[in-house]
């Protein structure tokens, strides 16, 4: 084996002006939204251990350091080929692009451009260079929209992960704290770069680090601890129960097994959460998230595990019950399930905190109907809360709402359906921002995906209330036949000079919720630039929310007409679409939203 170098480097040292290539056989970027969320949560949590708004920026140098893992490089002919670590480096680059874009409106800016791309011989290229990614990376870098329909799967995944970063990056860091966080990320976050000078040596290192021995997972260690504390005659039964359920969890997804334990143990036993301030220590909530096997061993007596029968019951009854319900949640997350549709809606927002909330009120002796009712109530509560926040331009990122969701989870443990419905209804009653608190909801770069889902719900509600089958899953699906947010007004301010003297005023109104529809991509491509009068006849071939702009929608359409009469909602045809029409339509959308996301439904459902 030739020379091997191992160096700890900061993010700045690793990426500044240095090119990395990726061999053709491992160019796929495969991270999912879960890994992106965990990256942001880990980084933001460590940063917040020290950050105070009163600090000078120079104080960041004294903040704690964070180790992000290792990468393995094979250096050939002066070129750095990534053998292991491209997922992490690509994700870091996406985060840096987001940080660059977030700084555009700030007075103070930290230069991150040289960590994203560099210039040689007059040619600019990204530091993590893969040819097929370049157009997408350029669009993200410039803050421009990109059509990923015909792109390779890896490129589609790249763009989706950037969108995830936009959604999960904490609101707390988007203002004055942003330059502090960027400084800390560049100077205090480290990776170890292991460099070999041949592919053979690089892959030998990779295999040695990953394949020598079989490491026990947290679940394996937890199992060993629990079984060791049971009587011998019951150990075989418990082991069989454990093995069969773990097999089911693993079949449901790569990390479902560990996520199940975290959600279950948090939902039933986490009584404290780390405060978001300097010097705070990890509590139950954090420890379960990082070392649940060790936390359970340390907390055994506190959660009622002292005698051999306690340990047996913990596996045979509790683990069996909560893991079975978790599998139901995963199923309802992946597709609409009757009675648990709101679980699917919340999952579309990538709101994984709902899983622990759904388990919190459940008791092992609840029958199937009671379990379904409790889950439905919690999912409806989450659905309303998330939509209120999105309607008011508030973040629903994990770190932003984590503490509030922990309080709800802790307070609803073991509640009966009626008590649960009342408590969740009262909790929503304490919220200060609802649909009525923002009459200027509009689409912008950071909320486009969320508003797409809200429009899908509005569209689906009108159709299902008119007697048609639900098409929500179709409306939010990706792919070549996907639906897109359609502006009723084309982007031509000159057509509206009689009402808008300034182009900026026109753009602000054009983006408001009442001026938007959800239509197939091909429609937008064919008709999107037309004046309203020319588009209006074509709306008759689309969903009911779009068709309701046309007078013929109110003729020979009994299901829709009955819905309008029954609901009292102010639907009407619009032969023209001026400023007053847009504002009227915005009010209609708000009233639709109030009907869909109505807290009173919790009380009604709780009495069933």
Q: Is the pLDDT of residue 298 over 80?
A: yes
pLDDT for 143: 82
Tell me the three state secondary structure of residue 265.
Answer: helix
pLDDT for 200: 62
Q: Is the pLDDT of residue 271 over 90?
A: yes
What sign for the dihedral angle of Cα 220, 225, 228, 229? negative
Q: Is the pLDDT of residue 212 over 50?
A: no
Question: 10 Å Cβ neighbour count for 451?
Answer: 20
Q: Which of 72-86, 284-298, 417-431, 491-505 has the lowest mean pLDDT?
A: 72-86
DSSP 49-112: TT--TTS-GGGGGGSPPEEEEEEEEEEETTEEEEEE-HHHHHHHHHHHHHHHHHGGG-SS----
Per-residue pLDDT averaged across 158-184, rounded? Answer: 88
- Of these ranges, 20-24, 216-220, 438-442, the one predicted with the greatest mean pLDDT is 438-442
Mean pLDDT of the chain: 89
* Confidence band of 606 (pLDDT split at 50, 70, 90): confident
Q: In angstroms, rounded to a whole number, what is the distance separating the alpha carbons of residues 358 and 340?
A: 11
* Confidence band of 214 (pLDDT split at 50, 70, 90): very low
101 contact partners, CB below 8 Å, separation of at least 6: 143
Order of strands, sheet of 128-129, starting from the edge strand that comes earlier in the sequence: 4-10, 189-196, 66-76, 79-84, 20-21, 128-129
For the stretch 522-543, pLDDT in tens is 887 788 789 999 999 999 999 9
Residues linked to residue 8 through DSSP beta bridges, in sequence order: 192
pLDDT for 118: 75
Asked whether 196 and 205 are in contact (CB, 8 A), the reply is: yes
Q: In angstroms, rounded to a whole number, what is the distance separating the alpha carbons of residues 127 and 89?
A: 10
With left for phi above 0 and alpha for psi between -120 and 50, is residue 77 left, alpha or beta? left
- Pairing state between β 516-520 and 483-487: antiparallel
Tell me the three state secondary structure of residue 334.
Answer: helix
Percentages helix, strand, coil for the chain (3-state, rounded to 5) are 60, 10, 30
Q: Is the pLDDT of residue 91 over 60?
A: yes
Per-residue pLDDT averaged across 102-121, rounded? Answer: 80
């Amino acid at each position: 084996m030739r020379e091997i170098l191992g160096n700890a480097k900061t993010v700045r040292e690793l990426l500044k002006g240095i090119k990395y290539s990726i061999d053709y056989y491992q160019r796929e970027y495969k991270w999912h939204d879960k890994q992106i969320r965990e990256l942001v949560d880990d980084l933001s949590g460590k940063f917040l251990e020290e950050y105070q708004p009163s600090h000078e920026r120079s104080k960041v140098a004294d903040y704690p350091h964070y180790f992000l893992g290792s990468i393995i490089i094979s250096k050939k002919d002066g070129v750095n080929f990534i053998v292991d670590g491209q997922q992490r480096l690509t994700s870091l680059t996406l985060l840096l692009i987001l940080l660059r874009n977030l700084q555009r409106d700030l007075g103070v800016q930290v230069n991150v451009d040289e960590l994203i791309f560099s210039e040689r011989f007059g040619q600019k290229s990204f530091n993590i260079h893969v040819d097929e990614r370049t157009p997408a990376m350029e669009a993200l870098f410039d803050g421009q929209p990109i059509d990923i329909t015909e792109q390779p799967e890896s490129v589609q995944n790249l763009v989706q992960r950037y969108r995830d970063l936009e959604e999960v990056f904490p609101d707390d860091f988007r203002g004055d704290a942003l330059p502090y966080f960027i400084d800390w990320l560049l100077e205090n976050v480290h990776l170890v770069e292991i460099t070999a000078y041949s592919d053979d040596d690089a892959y030998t290192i990779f295999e040695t680090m990953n394949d020598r021995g079989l490491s026990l997972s947290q679940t394996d260690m937890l199992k060993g601890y629990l079984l060791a504390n049971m009587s011998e005659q019951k150990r075989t039964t418990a082991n069989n129960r454990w093995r069969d359920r773990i097999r089911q969890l693993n079949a449901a997804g790569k990390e479902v097994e560990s996520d199940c334990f975290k959600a279950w143990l948090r939902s039933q036993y986490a009584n404290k959460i780390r405060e978001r301030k300097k010097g705070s220590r990890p509590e139950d909530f954090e420890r379960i998230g990082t070392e649940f096997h060790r936390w359970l061993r340390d907390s055994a007596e506190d959660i009622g595990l002292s005698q051999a029968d306690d340990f047996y019951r913990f596996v045979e009854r509790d683990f069996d019950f909560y893991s079975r319900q978790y599998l139901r949640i995963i199923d309802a997350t992946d597709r609409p399930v009757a009675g648990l549709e709101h679980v699917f809606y919340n999952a579309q927002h990538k709101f994984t905190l709902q899983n622990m909330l759904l388990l919190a009120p459940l008791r092992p002796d609840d029958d199937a109907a009671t379990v379904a009712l409790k889950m439905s109530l919690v999912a409806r509560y989450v659905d309303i809360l998330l939509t209120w926040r999105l309607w008011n331009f508030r973040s629903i990122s994990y770190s932003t709402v984590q503490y509030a969701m922990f309080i709800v989870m802790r307070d609803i443990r073991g509640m009966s359906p009626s008590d649960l419905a009342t408590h969740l209804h009262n909790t929503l009653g304490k919220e200060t921002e609802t649909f009525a608190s923002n009459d200027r909801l509009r689409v912008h770069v950071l909320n486009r995906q969320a508003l797409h889902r809200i429009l899908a719900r509005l569209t689906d509600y009108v159709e299902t209330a008119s007697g048609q089958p639900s098409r929500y899953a179709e409306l939010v699906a990706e792919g070549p036949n996907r639906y897109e947010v359609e502006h009723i007004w084309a982007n031509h301010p000159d057509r509206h000079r009689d009402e808008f003297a300034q182009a900026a005023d026109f753009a602000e109104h054009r983006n408001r919720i009442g001026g938007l529809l959800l239509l197939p991509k091909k429609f937008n491509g064919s008709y999107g630039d037309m004046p309203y009068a020319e588009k209006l006849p074509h709306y008759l071939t689309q969903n009911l929310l779009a068709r309701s702009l046309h007078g013929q929608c109110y003729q020979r359409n009994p299901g829709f007409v009955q819905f309008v009469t029954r609901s009292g909602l102010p639907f009407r045809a619009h032969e023209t679409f001026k400023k007053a029409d847009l504002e009227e339509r915005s009010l209609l959308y708000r009233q639709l939203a109030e009907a869909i996301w109505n807290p009173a439904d919790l009380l009604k459902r709780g009495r069933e």
